[in-house]
Structure 1
């Protein structure tokens, strides 16, 4: 284990935080993973995509942070989120691509990156309404390519399409009007090829709602559902799922894996593989999202030191600066804008190999592993919280709950018993202990499960930058926690992301040995509604579940379309029934209570281990101040390229003043 400080040396919070003994890699990949919204001022989106009034507990929990933020703005630490009327138009923004995609067809993608990059140009039927200024996005749904909608009955949704939307002016689409047949053909391709199809298509999963999409006429689409699905509007607004391509893409009149023809504000002008992606404003952009600039040039730079050097020199205009470098960078260049983002909705963790005979089929073993993690130390270290507090910067840190990100606010049961305590559904004192490091109790649990210390096992995580530069170092931290007091002897393995990690571990559904440190669906943005997060990650037939052994891999992945028998861990039937009931509940308050109760009922099962990093802390980001309106628009769940970037303009006199 040479080279892994966490596994070689006993450590304390003080030593790690003050000493920086890890040579810590920071949060450089957070922007790539996703810049989801959500906020301590809001409750999570309701089943219909709207938000409820904040509870008294919400207000009390956020007041201190709001006061800190106000003081930080007054002191010039945080930048005021104001709208600046454009004084100059045009120009090319100098952006960044950290890890380019293998291809850009979101309807046949096997990883998040195709959707992440193609969303510059492809659009969805509905959108999440952005926040503006200090008003964060609440998860409300607004028109996208469909400008209005109505329910004919509880299982039939009618969408009225925009008549001013046009496809890319270049061949083969040549500014052709967007019509209903584009939607129908995109749906047929999505349900056949997408690795997310089982989240929506009843044909791919009996538990998914949508049975069909049909064109009533050129500007009207009908969505039929097998059952009442209260979250349908949010589901078709989510950009990582069902984006609309032109019929020309489905007919392969251009290669959608290498090129894009969309209806959105940007066009993929040129893609130099491993060099840069060049985006240009579309003359056919509609509505408020018409770009103020001519485009973006986004070089591919996967090495953090090079990215940071180019940002500081003004060759890049927005930052993927690691959190431990935020303060020093701001002090070195005081003119930089500083933005604090809210606690986000992702919830990554440790998943178990569940083959027959696996020790991880015993919940005592799973509980023991959880009790070896110091989640607060992870937060303090990888977000450098002590340094921010010492400098008077506002901080916010939480611990994710069982299967539910702390960014979902009221829906999340707080393991520290500090926030949202006016709800009936709370962890017991004994249940809370499962979230905090206690090596002695972990050893007792291991002994009861028949595990001899040190227990030898493989632990796998990717060491490349698909999840950012910090992700591999956090894997080392978890390895160190598990080995520190002699509980485990870890063989660390780093599978290739595309050829090994995705098919055999991320989609492996427990069909592996040992454990994995893994991302979950949605990244920072999470999923648009909590029930779908549970359906994808925690339901035994879910598209990305890691809680049931499925021989051959996940039955919903493209290569494994035929359902197979699931050998689940104890309590799965009751958990599955509860998740399906939650998805079918249309009353928001009832659904919220059911989701909170599921966490309480399942924390002792520990079907997966919620991690301490990422997304449990409100992080910071930097940008150059001549990129006006950079922080004004606040997107909900990864709409920044269309909703936020389109409103940015370049203050050329200020740029010349600062950079020459």
Structure 2
């Protein structure tokens, strides 16, 4: 795997010493290292890593792991760093590696300029010599730049708050019928409330967790999150799927709105304020004060957090209050990687994964770096399944564990999924070949960009025909 041609790598090939360097650094410093390192977590599979020669890396395992490859290939997890990153360059401001592109220029708040790596291992890829990623926080400005043909692709455009709304696609298509419309599969984790279990916590009582879930009208929220009505009015079909405790990107998620297929515990996803009142009364928690800790670095989380808090406040059964938090000072250490040891509710991102099995382990095993549970005291059955699913090598048995986990989690409500997901519509100008054909895969938008964008190419004849300068 040839690296980029600039110093200090000078086009050399990555080898096992880079992998070993990465592992040693990651296993000593990463807050996620407990997921894999056996000395920190008996359910972590890796005892040691060695490199007997420049082309070979050996992982010595404590036991066979069904999830190890998911973790090692996760684009948000372990990045193989060249050993020169230890003093040879500053990885906080420079990017060097063996990917299809290397970063030639980064102007904070303006753009990233990516240039083709001539030493990329998968020749003749990438097809496009240079890509520029513009940093345009406001949705209206993004749309204006796209319509002005300064941007080639609408899929991948995002606001600081996480994405252009689907109705923007409809409106833009009406103004520019020459655009190509395509669908992108579900690749996200729908809105999920993380519960704080810092003792004493009201959420230690399953009745409170179930009541909180039943205070959410998921049909109404599905409209908000997917723009279903507007899209269907424009002739674009939408299948909105309620989130279970694993993302709807995985078929094993099931559909909590369908009791006939999801099971009897689907009732805890149904909007039922009357039953929620009974549960809160039995728990002595009517009028419960709840703080929603919301990611302040992301305007959509703030807006959605306010909507969700107002949604349950309308029932007059709880009093939810949004508190905007700093991403680095609070959200990451307390909500995302704090193992549920906080007070109130956390509303921010949820760990992405390739498979339903690794999603369960990452979010519901107490030793995982992104877990929602500080220990197994409240949820021994769920933790046991999260442990077993990581070690079960029989595909059919592993799928059975996932199915039971999803149905049992609906009753236990260790977190409260409230959002919905659907395949999203996206737009591209006709000259960006392959953009509407190649589809990303669930769970790893970083890897998808790496693979897909290296396979796009510019049709110069179409670019000229449609006035691309």
- TM-score, normalised relative to structure 2: 0.93
Are 2:253 and 1:412 equivalent residues in the alignment?
A: yes
The answer (yes or no) to whether the contact 2:185–2:439 under 8 Å persists in 1 is: no
Are 2:402 and 1:595 equivalent residues in the alignment?
A: yes
Match of 1:434 among 268, 273, 279: 268
Residue 183 of structure 1: aligned partner: 19
Are 2:193 and 1:353 equivalent residues in the alignment?
A: no
Higher mean Cα deviation, 585-594 or 226-235?
226-235
Residue 538 of structure 1: aligned partner: 364
Deviation at 1:417, TM superposition (A): 2.6
Higher-RCO chain (CA-CA 8 Å, sequence separation at least 6)? 1
1:485-504 pair list within 5 angstroms: 485-504=315-334
SS at match of 1:234: helix
1:518-529 pair list within 5 angstroms: 518-522=348-352, 527-529=353-355
Deviation at 1:280, TM superposition (A): 0.5
Check 1:395–1:537 CA distance in 2 against 1; reply closer, same or farther (3 A cut). same
Check 1:288–1:188 CA distance in 2 against 1; reply closer, same or farther (3 A cut). same
Are 2:459 and 1:651 equivalent residues in the alignment?
A: yes
SS at match of 1:213: strand
The answer (yes or no) to whether the contact 2:16–2:57 under 8 Å persists in 1 is: yes
Check 1:179–1:494 CA distance in 2 against 1; reply closer, same or farther (3 A cut). same
Residue 291 of structure 2: aligned partner: 458
The answer (yes or no) to whether the contact 1:376–1:612 under 8 Å persists in 2 is: no
Residue 294 of structure 1: aligned partner: 129
Check 1:296–1:418 CA distance in 2 against 1; reply closer, same or farther (3 A cut). farther
Check 1:656–1:297 CA distance in 2 against 1; reply closer, same or farther (3 A cut). same
- Any idea what the Cα deviations from partners look like across 1:13-51, whole Å, max 9, x if unmatched? xxxxxxxxxxxxxxxxxxxxxxxxxxxxxxxxxxxxxxx
Are 2:449 and 1:623 equivalent residues in the alignment?
A: no
Give the unaligned 5+ runs of structure 1. Answer: 1-164, 549-565
The answer (yes or no) to whether the contact 1:633–1:643 under 8 Å persists in 2 is: no
Deviation at 1:198, TM superposition (A): 2.0
SS at match of 1:298: strand
Deviation at 1:219, TM superposition (A): 1.1
Residue 318 of structure 1: aligned partner: 153
Deviation at 1:200, TM superposition (A): 2.2
The answer (yes or no) to whether the contact 2:34–2:367 under 8 Å persists in 1 is: no
* CA distance in 2 between partners of 1:640 and 1:535 (Å): 22
The answer (yes or no) to whether the contact 1:289–1:647 under 8 Å persists in 2 is: no
Deviation at 1:262, TM superposition (A): 0.6
Are 2:421 and 1:633 equivalent residues in the alignment?
A: no
Residue 210 of structure 1: aligned partner: 46
The answer (yes or no) to whether the contact 1:413–1:427 under 8 Å persists in 2 is: no
Deviation at 1:418, TM superposition (A): 7.4
Deviation at 1:278, TM superposition (A): 0.8
Deviation at 1:246, TM superposition (A): 1.2
Are 2:447 and 1:642 equivalent residues in the alignment?
A: no
The answer (yes or no) to whether the contact 2:198–2:342 under 8 Å persists in 1 is: yes
SS at match of 1:257: coil
Check 1:436–1:289 CA distance in 2 against 1; reply closer, same or farther (3 A cut). farther
Deviation at 1:177, TM superposition (A): 2.1
* CA distance in 1 between partners of 2:73 and 2:200 (Å): 42
* CA distance in 2 between partners of 1:166 and 1:317 (Å): 29
- Any idea what the Cα deviations from partners look like across 1:372-394, whole Å, max 9, x if unmatched? 11122112123211122122212
Deviation at 1:484, TM superposition (A): 0.4
SS at match of 1:340: strand
* CA distance in 1 between partners of 2:40 and 2:464 (Å): 55
Check 1:238–1:186 CA distance in 2 against 1; reply closer, same or farther (3 A cut). same
The answer (yes or no) to whether the contact 2:309–2:321 under 8 Å persists in 1 is: no
Check 1:204–1:631 CA distance in 2 against 1; reply closer, same or farther (3 A cut). farther
Deviation at 1:397, TM superposition (A): 1.3
- Any idea what the Cα deviations from partners look like across 1:570-597, whole Å, max 9, x if unmatched? 3x22322222111111111111011111
Are 2:380 and 1:573 equivalent residues in the alignment?
A: yes
Are 2:33 and 1:192 equivalent residues in the alignment?
A: no
Deviation at 1:513, TM superposition (A): 2.0
* CA distance in 1 between partners of 2:358 and 2:43 (Å): 11
* CA distance in 2 between partners of 1:622 and 1:418 (Å): 36
Deviation at 1:348, TM superposition (A): 4.2
Are 2:336 and 1:513 equivalent residues in the alignment?
A: no
Q: CA RMSD in A?
A: 1.9
* CA distance in 2 between partners of 1:381 and 1:574 (Å): 34
The answer (yes or no) to whether the contact 1:504–1:511 under 8 Å persists in 2 is: yes
Residue 161 of structure 2: aligned partner: none
Deviation at 1:436, TM superposition (A): 1.7
Deviation at 1:289, TM superposition (A): 6.6
* CA distance in 2 between partners of 1:597 and 1:612 (Å): 21
Deviation at 1:470, TM superposition (A): 3.4
1:56-67 pair list within 5 angstroms: none
- Any idea what the Cα deviations from partners look like across 1:282-316, whole Å, max 9, x if unmatched? 11112157111111111211111111111111121
- TM-score, normalised relative to structure 1: 0.67
The answer (yes or no) to whether the contact 1:289–1:642 under 8 Å persists in 2 is: no
Residue 88 of structure 2: aligned partner: 253
* CA distance in 2 between partners of 1:328 and 1:347 (Å): 24
Match of 1:331 among 174, 181, 188: 174
The answer (yes or no) to whether the contact 1:582–1:595 under 8 Å persists in 2 is: yes
* CA distance in 1 between partners of 2:456 and 2:72 (Å): 27
* CA distance in 2 between partners of 1:318 and 1:214 (Å): 43
The answer (yes or no) to whether the contact 2:3–2:120 under 8 Å persists in 1 is: no
The answer (yes or no) to whether the contact 1:629–1:649 under 8 Å persists in 2 is: yes
The answer (yes or no) to whether the contact 1:347–1:404 under 8 Å persists in 2 is: no
Aligned residues: 457
Residue 276 of structure 1: aligned partner: 111
SS at match of 1:458: strand
Residue 99 of structure 2: aligned partner: 264
Deviation at 1:327, TM superposition (A): 1.0
